[in-house]
Structure 1
Amino acid sequence: MKDPVPFPLAGLRASSVEYPVDVLGRIGAETAKALHQQVQAPLALCGQAVLAAMSTSVSSFGRVQSIMGGETYPISLYLLSIAFKGERKSRLEEFTLDGVEDFQEERTVALMEQQKVGKGTPLSGRSSAIVAKRTDFESLLATMAQGPGSTLWTNDNAIDCFGRYIQSNEEQQAIVAALIRLHRGKAVSLVSSDKCLRVSGVPLTASLRLEPDLLYDVYSDSEFLPLELIDRFLPCFPRTAISMRVIKEDETLDENSHIKDFKDKITKNLWRNLSLYMGKEENVLKISLEAKSVFANFYNKIEEELARGGIYEQISSFADRSLEHAIRISAVIELFNCDHGKMSSISVESAKSGCRFADYYLGEYLTIVNYRYAFLKSSELNALGNWMVEKHGPHGSWSVNEIAQSGPQGIRGNTKKRDELLSWMDEHHWIKLEETGNGRRKSKVYRINPKIENVLH
């Protein structure tokens, strides 16, 4: 049997949990599946791109009620896709943002017509732009300050978006603080030598991409990026599709009926929200009694697993926010799939969908945090891998006892560390555990993947 490709320390592997595409609703789910089939990007990336467009199209509705006290949340999402260059995130957005860009074009024409006839409205002096592509934070705020009530920030370099390479620590911390305030729906101001920008009442949807080898920089609760910001992002870390794509001769995506339906729905929602809710008293989407019960059960389940030894103990800060994430996603799904204007409350079906997504993101976050192990242990993994190759060659086999006798210093006498490293190497196809012999003479040996040298340093 052909040897699998060993995964590098940066990792091509993520959670095996399936992206819950079907709970997006019929139009969103069919669009994500059509994109997955034709663009051949991972399904989770397709779903994230669809969800980002859905969030943008309904976020200017207002806010959504919480099940606790009188708190409300903006109906907008921060999404983070962990993927390599070449996974076609930008290609996906060419299709999912078609409806948004059509709205921008139609609104530009409408504003020009208003100027011709001399008619003015409370919104006629504003720009039609609502998408900020590949922009820095200052340019994002400039777009938000001028746009007609909602903004989508999409960028394939999340680390730059967070201000990682800004020289001034003060400026970088200001970006982090502003992104947190925007997620909460609070006003943000930016004052510089040549301009003063203030954004208020404009919900922000973010759809960013992060390189897998930067996971440790982002998910380490550093002064650069506190968890208070990172825990607001809904992450997906799918298996790569690179090297598994083929040329297809089916219909083009421009001709796909699902893509067209999605595009029309996005444009329709944006125009509806602009006419019904912009410039008026803030609207609040309520939660039905039945849906509140769904959210309460979800919260209680998460709370139990936050206890010592629970599933979510090590990601407690993100898990603490999972109810808010579930409610926000439920609101997006409810409003996007509504066909009759105003909505009175979140339904049970949408509540279940939001909780299903929140569960998925909890699993992805756990995967990411656990995956940091590879970075923390990279020197030891390389030391053990190089020892195996030097002693047995890239095609050799060996037993665990050999590590105790002649393995690398710091590993040979530590059984727990040895077993952890071997388990990681086996899972990521550096080695393969095999059994030899028969009956009582049966023993376990590890066979080295002949391609291991491609991932060693």
Structure 2
Amino acid sequence: MHNQPGSPVNLPDFDHCVTDLTGPSLPERLAKLPLFRELPPGLGYPVDALPKVLSDAVSAIVDLTQCQPAIAAGSVLAVSSLAAQAHANVLLPHGATAPLSLYLVTIAESGDRKSAADVYAMRPVRIAETDGQAAYRDQLDNYKLERESWDGAKAKIIRDKALAMDPAALKEAIGQLGRPPKEPLNPSIIFAEPTMAGLQKAYHCCRPSLGLFSDEGGQMLGGHALRDESRLHTIATLNDFWQGSPINRTRAGDGHSLLLDRRLALHLMIQPGIAHQLLGNADAIATGLTARLLVAAPPSLAGSRHFRMPAPESSGKLQRFTSRVSEMLSTWPHHERDPQRLMPRSLPMAPDAQHKWISFHDDCQTRVSPIGVWKGIRPWGEKAPEQAARLAGVIAVVQNEKVGEIGEDSMAAAITIAEFYGSEMLRLAGQSSVDSDVHSASDLLQWLRKQNKTCFHLAEVYQLGPNNLRTAKAAQLACQILETHGEIVPLSDGLLINGKRHRRAWMVVPD
């Protein structure tokens, strides 16, 4: 006798948990309801709006990898921001300045060539890091010798009994040694998934303009930096870096220090299934981090990428971008006595560029009004004018780091790009605002698929499953949601494993 719709499946033994679901017994029971509303199609990335050095790089990466233009553009803009942020700030019409730091997030499935695109865009950065390593090793050896000599000379002075009796003479003798040798700067530029304490520490030994880039951004979202006990500190620190604010650092053993005039560019590449952990995170929304992000989620091209040879000119296009960024990374303006404290100049807008920016600013205010098209992404829309100004500065400086002002063409390009990211944020807003319990159920479903689970029991979920389902109550609720949506089917007799029967158990319905 066939099971009736809504009734549990009777599969009491793990060895009999077989998902032959092609027969007529459970057609209604296994009808699935999607967990999320399907995303509406997005706009194409406005590659042609970018200046030639950037649009050529994007088109070359697309040709070489067959990725979506939005993926290539995200990587190219992130690297451009990393290079430009050391050289200038943008001067806004009302007199405030803003760094050229951009925070980009690219959402794409595994296999959509995120990493391949990033490898090409990151070439100038990796070259700078690699070339700097050889010189750094030699400089570090010399520093250690000089420091050992300096420390020895100081120790000898301190041991001098005559000087020990005269504090003024002791201070003068130590002063005559001069300052201790300064440790050479570590050539590392990119950090993939540090804690905020680790990132702040890096600014003590590395250049003052760094990047937080990861083609596996999920590792950062699930890592220590964004765990419950660290999340607020991480988000607040990222917000401070975006603003260009001084960063306070207090550590046991290291004492207190203040990081001035540092810059951070960010690019996280994440998969759609975990995007809500960032875009839908209540703390990230409440503190304004999500409003500072430029997010793109292009559709997958899987199944449509037939083999073809890249165009001969693509290598040359990419090399011009690599050379340009390499020049910018080779030096940075800094205080005369402190190479770790940037001195970026203020980059004003030309009159025509300023007019365009003010028009865009006022248009954004209309869009975020209670009846405006951006009312659902109001915090992001409020920051859109500044995003456009930052983008314009990056575009101008990448073309010429000595440029004196932002021209009309750069501003027009920046506004077009900001419009694209606004449309993406609006498109994604509905999905990221879905109830967190549904997202937790989605996390569980992904975990079950990844673990190739045919059947499972409740204790497995809260003992071994996703981090946000570490209680029986949370795990039970996630299972109920998946059951309602037809993704899993309850086992009436439970599940027998190694002689132990687990009463609350389910069978996973295959795709």
TM-score normalised to the size of structure 1?
A: 0.72
Aligned partner of 2:300 in structure 1 is 240
Q: Is the 8 A contact 2:89 2:98 kept in 1?
A: yes
Instruction: State the alpha-carbon separation in 1 of the partners of residues 192 and 78 from structure 2.
Output: 13
> Which SS does the other structure have where 2:304 is aligned?
coil
1:79 aligns with 2:79: no
> Which SS does the other structure have where 1:273 is aligned?
coil
1:34 aligns with 2:50: no
Of 186, 195, 199, 2:245 maps to 186
Instruction: State the alpha-carbon separation in 1 of the partners of residues 260 and 269 from structure 2.
Output: 26
Greater gyration radius: 2
1:329 aligns with 2:391: yes
1:151 aligns with 2:210: yes
Instruction: State the alpha-carbon separation in 2 of the partners of residues 111 and 355 from structure 1.
Output: 41
Shift of 1:307: 2.0
Alignment of 1:7-22 (within 5 A): 9=35, 15-22=41-48
Alignment of 1:347-426 (within 5 A): 347-372=407-432
1:292 aligns with 2:318: no
Q: Is the 8 A contact 1:67 1:292 kept in 2?
A: yes
Amino acid at match of 2:72: C
Instruction: State the alpha-carbon separation in 2 of the partners of residues 301 and 273 from structure 1.
Output: 36
Aligned partner of 2:372 in structure 1 is 310
Aligned partner of 2:22 in structure 1 is none
Aligned partner of 2:91 in structure 1 is 65
Amino acid at match of 2:44: E
Bigger drift between 365-374 and 286-295 goes to: 365-374
Unaligned runs of 5+ in 2: 1-31, 147-178, 443-508
Q: Is the 8 A contact 2:212 2:264 kept in 1?
A: yes
Deviations 1:344-399 (A, max 9, x none): 110000011111111111100000013347768979xx9xxxxxxxxxxxxxxxxx
Shift of 1:177: 0.7
Bigger drift between 272-281 and 320-329 goes to: 272-281
Aligned partner of 1:256 in structure 2 is 315
Instruction: State the alpha-carbon separation in 1 of the partners of residues 406 and 183 from structure 2.
Output: 32
Of 44, 48, 53, 2:79 maps to 53
Of 169, 175, 190, 1:131 maps to 190
Instruction: State the alpha-carbon separation in 1 of the partners of residues 437 and 102 from structure 2.
Output: 33
Instruction: State the alpha-carbon separation in 2 of the partners of residues 167 and 101 from structure 1.
Output: 27
Quick one: structure 1 residues 167 and 110, their matched pair in 2 at CA, closer, same or farther if it must change by over 3 Å?
closer
Q: Is the 8 A contact 1:100 1:267 kept in 2?
A: yes
1:171 aligns with 2:171: no
Q: Is the 8 A contact 2:236 2:287 kept in 1?
A: no
Among the aligned pairs, what percent are the same residue? 18
> Which SS does the other structure have where 1:205 is aligned?
strand
Quick one: structure 1 residues 344 and 249, their matched pair in 2 at CA, closer, same or farther if it must change by over 3 Å?
closer
Instruction: State the alpha-carbon separation in 2 of the partners of residues 133 and 168 from structure 1.
Output: 16
Instruction: State the alpha-carbon separation in 2 of the partners of residues 153 and 123 from structure 1.
Output: 26
Aligned length: 374
> Which SS does the other structure have where 1:284 is aligned?
strand
Quick one: structure 1 residues 170 and 17, their matched pair in 2 at CA, closer, same or farther if it must change by over 3 Å?
same
Shift of 1:162: 5.1
Quick one: structure 1 residues 201 and 14, their matched pair in 2 at CA, closer, same or farther if it must change by over 3 Å?
farther
Quick one: structure 1 residues 14 and 48, their matched pair in 2 at CA, closer, same or farther if it must change by over 3 Å?
farther
Q: Is the 8 A contact 1:74 1:328 kept in 2?
A: yes
Aligned partner of 1:301 in structure 2 is 363
Instruction: State the alpha-carbon separation in 2 of the partners of residues 137 and 79 from structure 1.
Output: 18
Aligned partner of 2:487 in structure 1 is none
Shift of 1:7: 11
Unaligned runs of 5+ in 1: 1-5, 383-452
Instruction: State the alpha-carbon separation in 2 of the partners of residues 368 and 22 from structure 1.
Output: 24
Deviations 1:206-231 (A, max 9, x none): 00023222344433361365351111
TM-score normalised to the size of structure 2?
A: 0.65
Q: Is the 8 A contact 1:79 1:208 kept in 2?
A: yes
Quick one: structure 1 residues 454 and 373, their matched pair in 2 at CA, closer, same or farther if it must change by over 3 Å?
farther
Quick one: structure 1 residues 211 and 97, their matched pair in 2 at CA, closer, same or farther if it must change by over 3 Å?
same
Bigger drift between 172-181 and 136-145 goes to: 136-145
Q: Is the 8 A contact 2:285 2:291 kept in 1?
A: no
